[in-house]
Structure 1
Amino acid sequence: MTQEKIIIDVGDGAAIPSKKDMGLFSAWRISFCGAIVLLIYLVISRPDPYLKIVKFLPDGIIVTFQVTFFSIGLALIIGLITGLGRISRNRIANAIASTYIEVIRGIPLLVQLFYIYYALGRFVRVPDMVAAVIAMSVCYGAYMGEVFRAGIESIDKGQTEAARSLGFNRTQTMFYVILPQAWRTILPPVGNEFIALLKDTSLVSILAVADLLRRGREFAAESFAYFETYTIIALIYLLITLLLSKLVSIMEDRLNYYGKF
């Protein structure tokens, strides 16, 4: 008697809402609507300080998105290269990719941020934003590498054999046949890592990057309205993550829909 292997996938990002899970889908709607209503209520009922806080934060939100999108773009490239290295028959490439993943995943992101900005700063002066993007990309690239590896290995080997029989070489088979099919498997965890990365951008405030949290800290330091400021920041982060999780859910549904044809 064989026992079916059960994989439990728990990530750091927000849960992706799906109509298949009505409890989670309802929780998403309650959370999203509740956050909007509470934010509007606070701004209208107490414009001082809540409206002032909201007006003070937009540039910080823009910086947060800049760090997130630059980092996720670079992390996807690093992750793809690393994932291909992990499944490579070349022992050197496999060893380098595997060692990179083990080392990076074993060091906290906050330590990596300090190391790139302060430790390496003794030899090469790295601008705040660049240091933040590099650290986030290198850290999440290691996680993306495992996501790509798992996604590629989930595709039936018959697909590779069929492509090779049609005259495709290994590179063409990977990019024209395997990766497009693997993307449906890869998208949910990539979306989850994207949302987790956005939340982790709050750490870059220690590098004097004027992100959402940094701007909030500046306002709180001037006004001493710590409770009000961090309440607004929490609501904004919640709304952003909920919107992104819904976007990932829509993309996943469309991929599954077109994948049927």
Structure 2
Amino acid sequence: MPPSSAAKSEFPWWLAAAAVLALAAALAIAASDLYAEVFATVAKGIGITVFVTVVAFALASAIGLGIALMALSGSQWMRQIARFYVEIIRGVPILVLLFWIAFAGAPAFVAGWNALTAPLQSAGFLGELLVRDVSLLWRAIMALTIGYSAFISEVFRAGIQAVEKGQIEAAKALGLSRVQRFRLIVFPQAIRTILPPLGNDFVAMVKDSSLVSVLGVADITQMGKVYAAGSFRFFETYSIVAYIYLILTVGLSLALRALEKRLRRQHGE
């Protein structure tokens, strides 16, 4: 059922209220030396938060697309491997996965790498890799990548399956290869279905990136923890931390919503 005209013209009062609160908070920060100092300290972690989120999401999307294509493969073994990956990874909390990758997966990777490259190391072509050579930042990124790839793969799979089979059959009749069918027919239509939940996952990853602070990665949350521990200004510090995350997540949500509306207009929906 199409939305009513009243629903179409409904004013976003929630956004107006949020904008007023954000402006009031910004004025309070500017007027208070304490809040300004806290904000300046915590804001140093924004770059790390954005870097972790963007890199982990890009890698998770690439892996998720690959897992989705495996799940839709004609090979039973490929489908079973994809299902195994999705169900196992989705069953592990992100925080637990973060600890496992950081303190179990990374040492195992280093041991395996050294075993495989032992001849090259003996010949002097490569040096021995140490666990401390794998930074905690990249361990955190890999944990988020693996954790979110399972969820993103289901988004891709559902979006691809939503494309009408008749169009795929028509593309086959035109002689398009499987890669051409996916690139020219399937994916351009699937992206309209995929984009909203994919955007939600991106916003969720911004928030879940705060978990990397448990490894000491200097993101927004970690900078807040360090400042609060040294100054005992817990209320002021975590209020600023929450404010920055809200600005990031609400801003991203609005941008993604605008992009979704633009795509709909382009396709005459």
With the length of structure 2 as denominator, give the TM-score of the two structures: 0.85
**Distance in structure 1 (CA, Å) of the matches to 2:87 and 2:252:** 29
Shift of 1:59: 2.3
Q: Report the equivalent of 2:220.
A: 212
**What code does the residue aligned with 2:148 have?**
Y
Pair 1:138-2:146 in alignment: yes
**Distance in structure 2 (CA, Å) of the matches to 1:55 and 1:158:** 56
Q: Report the equivalent of 1:99.
A: 84
Pair 1:189-2:207 in alignment: no
**CA-based RMSD:** 1.6
**Distance in structure 2 (CA, Å) of the matches to 1:249 and 1:21:** 16
**Distance in structure 1 (CA, Å) of the matches to 2:72 and 2:13:** 40
Shift of 1:174: 1.1
**Distance in structure 1 (CA, Å) of the matches to 2:8 and 2:55:** 32
**Distance in structure 2 (CA, Å) of the matches to 1:94 and 1:37:** 51
State the identity %. 39
Q: Deviations over 1:3-32 (max 9, x none)?
A: xxxxxxxxxxxxxxxx74947x3323322x
Q: Which runs of 5+ in 1 are unaligned?
A: 1-18
Shift of 1:55: 1.1
**Distance in structure 2 (CA, Å) of the matches to 1:83 and 1:120:** 24
**Distance in structure 2 (CA, Å) of the matches to 1:254 and 1:40:** 30
Shift of 1:119: 1.5
**What's the secondary structure of 1:210's corresponding residue?**
coil
**What's the secondary structure of 2:243's corresponding residue?**
helix
Residues 20 and 72 from structure 1, CA distance in 2 versus in 1: closer, same or farther, beyond 3 angstroms? farther
**What's the secondary structure of 1:120's corresponding residue?**
helix
**Distance in structure 2 (CA, Å) of the matches to 1:30 and 1:100:** 43
Work out whether residues 28 and 242 of structure 1, in 8 Å CA contact, stay in contact via their aligned partners in 2.
Answer: no
With the length of structure 1 as denominator, give the TM-score of the two structures: 0.88
**Distance in structure 2 (CA, Å) of the matches to 1:29 and 1:72:** 30
Q: Report the equivalent of 2:265.
A: 257
Pair 1:167-2:156 in alignment: no
**Distance in structure 1 (CA, Å) of the matches to 2:175 and 2:155:** 28
Work out whether residues 70 and 82 of structure 2, in 8 Å CA contact, stay in contact via their aligned partners in 1.
Answer: yes
Residues 96 and 35 from structure 1, CA distance in 2 versus in 1: closer, same or farther, beyond 3 angstroms? farther
Residues 157 and 21 from structure 1, CA distance in 2 versus in 1: closer, same or farther, beyond 3 angstroms? farther
Q: Report the equivalent of 2:15.
A: 28
**What's the secondary structure of 1:168's corresponding residue?**
coil
Pair 1:116-2:116 in alignment: no
**Distance in structure 2 (CA, Å) of the matches to 1:127 and 1:20:** 49
**Distance in structure 2 (CA, Å) of the matches to 1:144 and 1:219:** 35
Residues 21 and 191 from structure 1, CA distance in 2 versus in 1: closer, same or farther, beyond 3 angstroms? farther
Which of residues 155, 158, 168 is equivalent to 2:163?
A: 155
**Distance in structure 2 (CA, Å) of the matches to 1:146 and 1:136:** 16
**What's the secondary structure of 1:57's corresponding residue?**
helix
Q: Report the equivalent of 1:13.
A: none
Pair 1:199-2:207 in alignment: yes
Q: Report the equivalent of 1:176.
A: 184
Residues 256 and 107 from structure 1, CA distance in 2 versus in 1: closer, same or farther, beyond 3 angstroms? same
Q: Report the equivalent of 1:7.
A: none
**What's the secondary structure of 2:92's corresponding residue?**
coil
**What code does the residue aligned with 2:180 have?**
Q
In the alignment of these two chains, the number of paired residues is: 240
Which of residues 53, 57, 80 is equivalent to 2:65?
A: 80
Q: Deviations over 1:33-66 (max 9, x none)?
A: 134223223213422x200011112320010000
